[in-house]
Amino acid sequence: MTATEPVSQPAEVETSVTLNINGTAVEVPEGASVLDACTAAGIDTPTLCYAENLTPVNACRVCVVEQEGSRTLIPSCSRQASEGMNIQTDSERVRHSRKMVLEFLGSGVDLSQAPELEQWSEVYGADPGRYGESAAKIEEEVRIQDELYIRDYDKCVLCYKCVEACGDDAQHTFAIAVAGRGFDARIRTEFDTELPDSACVYCGNCVAVCPTNALQFKTEFDLRSADKWQPEEQSVTQTVCSYCGVGCNLELHVQDETIVKVTSPNDHSVTSGHLCIKGRFGWSYVHGQ
């Protein structure tokens, strides 16, 4: 989403607000977030729990900015831009908190398959190593319970995206939720019931929104395990799902003339990036299987 195209704004008479970001006036439509305004001003902001097709939960706090007059920093993803706000995106306080959030995550979670986070960690000088070897880490077995997707919670940053996508932001299945508390909080089905016995309908929308590969399509997981995952070699073909008349756009990710995963564009008017089990996983017939 860009600042000029707010998701929930009807294209009628648009009122706008003007705020200051790093001393420069920025005009955005009413209802836009501070993050939208930063984007409109050409400022790149790290985000993790934010996604354009989900309700902001403002849990990761990596997108925080400094607002004049506010005691604490504010989450740019979920704070509505208002007239006359004075925002700093690169002050010492902002840089410190972003660095610490990235450092905390790096010290406790496996970010090896989240290249964007690793890049931001470098930008802000995060040093996860300074907490020492004894720093508590998320340690979980990889859960492989079917042929469609796997769950590797060592990589989970608890951004809530999968919960939102499974729940009332997309699928309304409510198969997973956050269980436990604090550092022991984990994404779980009830009593950690295996997926096939849970409410899961295998739409794969949770996988599509996962920012760290904690949720992976089984195809990708198998290729990675065999050291054969080569995203730079993959082509993406757009098509329309052939199963029903809804008209979901599909993006077929193809490696070595084999489909390795299926996504849908977040800005597609029908799907907003979300699919059902057929569009997401029902492609093996293409390969005559």
Partner 1 sequence: MADLHFGDDKPSDIEREAVDSVVIDTLGPAVVHEHERLVRGGTERRNERRHLLLPVLHALQRAAGWISPGGLNYASEQLQVPPAEAYGVATFYEMFRSTDPGHSDDVVHVCVDAACQIADSQAVIDQLEAEGRHVHRSPCLGQCERPTALFIQGRGRPDRVEADSNLEQFTAVPQASASGGDGTMAKGEPLRLLKRVGVVDPSSIESYIAAGGYQSLAAAIARGPEGVVSEVSDSGLMGRGGAAFPTGFKWKAVAEAAGDIKHVVVNADESEPGTFKDRVLIENDPFSVIEAATIAGYATGATKGWIYIRGEYPLATERLRTAIEQARSAGYLGDDVASSGFSFDMEVRRGAGAYICGEETALFNSLEGFRGEPRQKPPFPTTNGLFDQPTAINNPETLVNVLDIVVDGGAAYKAIGTEGSAGTKLFCVSGHLAKPGVYELAFGATLGELIDMAGGPIGELRAIMLGGAAGSFVGADQLDMPLSFEGAREAGVSLGSGVVMAFNDTVDFGAVFTRLAEFFRNESCGQCVPCRIGTVRQHEVLLNSGGNPVNGQSELLADIDLAMKDASICGLGHTAATAVRSGIALGLIGAQS
Residues within the interface to partner 1 (CB under 8 A): 58-62, 64, 72-73, 75, 78, 93, 96-97, 100-101, 104-105, 107-108, 130-132, 134-136, 157-158, 167-168, 172-185, 188-191, 193, 197-199
Nearest to partner 1 of 140, 267 (CB atom): 140
Q: How far is the CB of 196 from partner 1 (least distance, A)?
A: 12
Q: For residue 102, what are the β-bridge partners?
A: none
CA 48, 51, 57, 61 torsion-angle sign:
positive
Q: How far is the CB of 235 from partner 1 (least distance, A)?
A: 36
Q: CA separation (Å) from 163 to 26, 54, 89, 207?
A: 34, 10, 29, 11
Nearest to partner 1 of 65, 262 (CB atom): 65
Q: CA separation (Å) from 239 to 248, 249, 283?
A: 9, 6, 12
Nearest to partner 1 of 104, 283 (CB atom): 104
Nearest to partner 1 of 163, 260 (CB atom): 163
Q: Show the tokens assigned to 287.
A: 């390969």
Nearest to partner 1 of 198, 249 (CB atom): 198
CA 256, 145, 209, 248 torsion-angle sign:
positive
> Phi and psi of 61, rounded to 5°?
70, 20
Q: How far is the CB of 239 from partner 1 (least distance, A)?
A: 29
Question: Which residue from 85, 74, 73, 78 is spatially nearest to 41, judged by alpha carbons?
Answer: 85
Q: How far is the CB of 49 from partner 1 (least distance, A)?
A: 9
Q: How far is the CB of 45 from partner 1 (least distance, A)?
A: 14
Nearest to partner 1 of 112, 239 (CB atom): 112
In what side-by-side order are the strands of the sheet with 149-151?
143-144, 149-151, 215-217
Q: How far is the CB of 163 from partner 1 (least distance, A)?
A: 9
**Looking at the chain, how many residues does it have?**
289
